[in-house]
């Protein structure tokens, strides 16, 4: 069998569509939730309310024709959308989606492949069989298009034998389940009849899918991941029963080639060219639009409002392409007659799950949920007794960032005595044999930084976690962070901190011509820090070089992490590393079997990791590879707090 291109890379096929693409610009409409009604009467209501017909139709198709309220909400949220009156139609496609026992197997593969090997191109869209190419349909003809699908399903009732015979196929770049040829011809006839009905009822031209019908499992993955993915794919039992659903989806044609992001935190614009962010909204971003964005910012368009602007990069995360698609019709092709789901039903897909209680009553809830789940193997707080786990945590808030590089001159008198000048400065600091100037390159935590760390320890305690070993960068801020985590965890003095120089950050980031003069473990212990003074480092301080190359730093981090895990093997299940923002990436990427990123991408990832950023890894059974999993604790969000001088209240106009 020849290698086939995946079905999830649609392209426009008509000259007229090329004209449509020519007018695409970076703006966006919004969609909403599913529906179970036709929008003929709903359209009349919207028109009677005074909305122009073009806007009312656009609101209905963008919300899947749910109801008047959903359409009104969409119109009000898009009141400032500069493309609200743009006649550009949406783009549609017909998929078969699995449901029932088979989908649970596919869900498990989706989850394990993502955890084991990271995200590949197949994860952008849920498991499906493509029945036609993407096509456009004017807003006013969508109801007729949905009627065409319903009629086709009714005409085909009982004519498609089940289960569909599927055969696993793998190549160096593609893994999928192919429909047996004779059955594929039956499905293609079904799709051809739908195309005929669409022309007759909606005057819409649809080109049936011409390639072999298949469910794409993985493609565009690293060659080293093929054995793992192939092993996982062979565990799928394709003989299990499955209720295949014919689902009509739509997407905004202007953002077909954009990257989809999801808003994680709300953001209020500070300048006119910035975009307001609402948690849960989606953002469309094109690399070609980023020339106007400075470092740490991206330019994108909101799904929720249709507005475009700049937004902080660390407030969003990558989402799947299909997360913003709308459902317009859903029918079981196994049933003797179409279900009520066959009416004009629509709505957004979030993480592969239709967001409507009606669908939960029509379909087995396990069928459409969890197809592209978050990276989670077990519920937070439930420890694995057999698998090793690795937690990597960044240190807390540091003094020099909050109070500036010249904080030493504010806090030390000419005799080198420490005097704090702000409540967020610690009451005392450990003495240093080299004098207080050594704090210049090895700063302590703020009081709030210590509080942050203690909160993480308390959260670990509440989640009933265990920590068997703690390894730490030699930086004082990291050691203090580990100390306060153990305090909150109620393990201070019971679990000793192993100071490992090999965990120090990329030395290129250290200013000057020498590395920091770290406090020796014996002096740290004398300052009441729970440090293991008998520990012998894997990479001693003498092996660290100033301004090391990126490759050297990545290799050092990988080496020391492997040696730490090997050292703890069979002695305990859980290892905590407390180090730097860069450690969350450098200490976990290669143990997952992934290649290091280039230096530029690495820096972009590291810049997004906040104080006390926390990640978790788990050993992946027989493969010998580790995987990222959900951390056992909630994230810790914090913001800036500017200095306040009460004397400003005395200023008179």
Which residues belong to the active site? Answer: 394-395, 580
Pairwise CA distance, residues 114 & 421, whole Å:
49
Q: What are phi and psi of 547, to 5 degrees?
A: 55, 45
Pairwise CA distance, residues 99 & 452, whole Å:
44
As beta bridge partners, residue 250 has 92, 326
Pairwise CA distance, residues 121 & 288, whole Å:
21
Pairwise CA distance, residues 337 & 331, whole Å:
9
What token pair was written down for 137?
Answer: 């349909």
Q: How many CB atoms lie within 10 A of CB 431?
A: 13
Q: Are 348 and 326 in contact (CB under 8 A)?
A: yes
Pairwise CA distance, residues 648 & 594, whole Å:
54
List the one residue out of 593, 653, 326, 632 whose CA is nearest residue 489.
632
3-state secondary structure of 518: coil
**Token pair 């359409």 is at which residue?**
71
- The DSSP bridge pattern shows strands 574-579 and 469-472 to be parallel
HSE (side-chain half, CA atoms, 13 Å) at 436: 16
As beta bridge partners, residue 135 has 92
Going by C-beta distance under 8 Å and a sequence separation of 6 or more, which residues neighbour residue 360?
none
Q: Are 30 and 74 in contact (CB under 8 A)?
A: yes
What is the separation, in whole angstroms, between the first and last Cα of the chain? 83
User: Rg of the chain over CA atoms, in angstroms?
Assistant: 29
Please give the helix or strand (H or E) that residue 400 lies within, else none: helix 399-403
- The DSSP bridge pattern shows strands 297-302 and 308-312 to be antiparallel
Pairwise CA distance, residues 514 & 272, whole Å:
44
What token pair was written down for 397?
Answer: 């808030």
**Token pair 């368009």 is at which residue?**
301
Pairwise CA distance, residues 204 & 141, whole Å:
8
Pairwise CA distance, residues 454 & 492, whole Å:
11
- Which phi-psi region, left, alpha or beta, contains residue 570 (left: φ > 0; alpha: ψ -120 to 50)? left
Helices (H), 89-137: 101-117
What token pair was written down for 190?
Answer: 């079904």
């Amino acid at each position: 069998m020849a290698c086939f291109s995946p079905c999830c890379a649609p392209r426009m096929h008509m000259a007229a569509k090329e004209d449509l693409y020519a007018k695409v610009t970076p703006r966006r409409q919004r969609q909403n939730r599913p529906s179970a009604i036709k929008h003929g009467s709903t359209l009349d209501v919207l028109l009677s309310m005074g909305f122009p017909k073009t806007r009312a139709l656009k609101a209905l198709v963008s919300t899947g024709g749910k109801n008047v309220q959903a359409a009104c909400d969409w119109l009000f949220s898009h009141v400032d959308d500069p493309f609200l009156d743009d006649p550009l139609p949406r783009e549609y496609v017909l998929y078969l989606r699995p449901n029932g026992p088979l989908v649970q197997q596919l869900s498990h593969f989706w989850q394990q492949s993502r955890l084991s090997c990271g995200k590949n191109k197949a994860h952008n869209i849920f498991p499906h069989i493509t029945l036609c190419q993407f096509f456009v349909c004017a807003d006013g003809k969508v109801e007729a298009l949905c009627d065409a699908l319903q009629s086709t399903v009714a005409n085909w009732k009982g004519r498609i034998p089940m289960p569909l015979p599927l055969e696993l196929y793998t190549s160096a770049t593609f893994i999928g389940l192919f429909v047996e040829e004779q059955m594929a011809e039956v499905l293609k006839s079904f799709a051809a009849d739908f195309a005929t009905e669409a022309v007759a009822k909606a005057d819409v031209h649809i080109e049936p899918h011409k390639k072999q019908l298949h469910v794409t499992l993985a493609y565009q993955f690293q060659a080293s991941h093929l054995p793992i993915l192939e092993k996982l794919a062979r565990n799928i039992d394709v003989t299990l029963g499955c209720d295949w659903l014919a689902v009509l989806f739509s997407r905004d044609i202007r953002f077909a080639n954009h990257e989809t992001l999801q808003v994680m935190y709300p953001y209020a614009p500070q300048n006119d060219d910035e975009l307001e962010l609402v948690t849960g909204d989606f953002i469309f971003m094109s690399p070609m639009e980023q020339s106007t964005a400075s470092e740490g910012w991206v330019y994108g368009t909101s799904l929720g409002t249709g507005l475009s602007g700049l937004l902080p990069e660390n407030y969003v995360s990558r989402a799947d392409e299909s997360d913003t698609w709308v459902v317009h019709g859903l029918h079981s092709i196994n049933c003797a007659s179409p279900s009520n789901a066959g009416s004009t039903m629509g709505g957004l897909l979030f993480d592969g799950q239709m967001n409507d209680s009606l669908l939960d009553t029509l379909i087995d809830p396990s069928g459409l949920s969890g197809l592209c789940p978050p990276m989670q193997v077990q519920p937070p707080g439930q420890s694995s007794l057999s698998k090793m786990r690795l937690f990597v945590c960044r240190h807390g808030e540091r003094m020099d960032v909050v109070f500036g590089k010249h904080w030493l001159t504010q806090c030390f008198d000419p005799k080198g005595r420490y005097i704090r000048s702000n409540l967020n400065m610690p009451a005392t600091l450990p003495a240093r044999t080299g004098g207080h100037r050594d704090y210049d390159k090895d700063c302590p935590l703020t009081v709030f930084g210590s509080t942050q760390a203690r909160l993480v320890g308390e959260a670990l305690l509440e989640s009933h976690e265990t920590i068997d070993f703690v390894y730490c960068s030699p930086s004082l801020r990291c050691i203090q962070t580990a100390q306060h985590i153990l305090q909150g965890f109620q393990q201070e003095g019971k679990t000793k901190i192993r100071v490992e120089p090999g965990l120090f950050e990329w030395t290129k980031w250290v200013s000057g011509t020498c590395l920091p003069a770290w406090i020796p473990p014996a002096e740290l212990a004398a300052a009441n820090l729970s440090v293991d003074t008998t520990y012998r480092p894997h990479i001693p301080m003498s092996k660290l070089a100033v301004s090391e190359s990126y490759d050297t730093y990545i290799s050092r981090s990988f080496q020391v992490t492997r040696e730490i895990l090997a050292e703890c093997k069979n002695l305990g299940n859980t290892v905590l590393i407390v180090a730097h923002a860069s450690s969350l990436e450098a200490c976990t990427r290669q143990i997952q079997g992934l290649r290091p990123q280039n230096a530029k991408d690495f820096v972009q990832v590291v810049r997004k990791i906040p104080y006390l950023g926390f990640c978790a890894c788990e050993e992946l059974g027989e493969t010998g590879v580790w995987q990222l999993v959900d951390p056992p604790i909630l994230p810790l969000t914090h913001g800036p707090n500017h200095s306040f001088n009460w004397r400003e209240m005395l200023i008179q106009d």
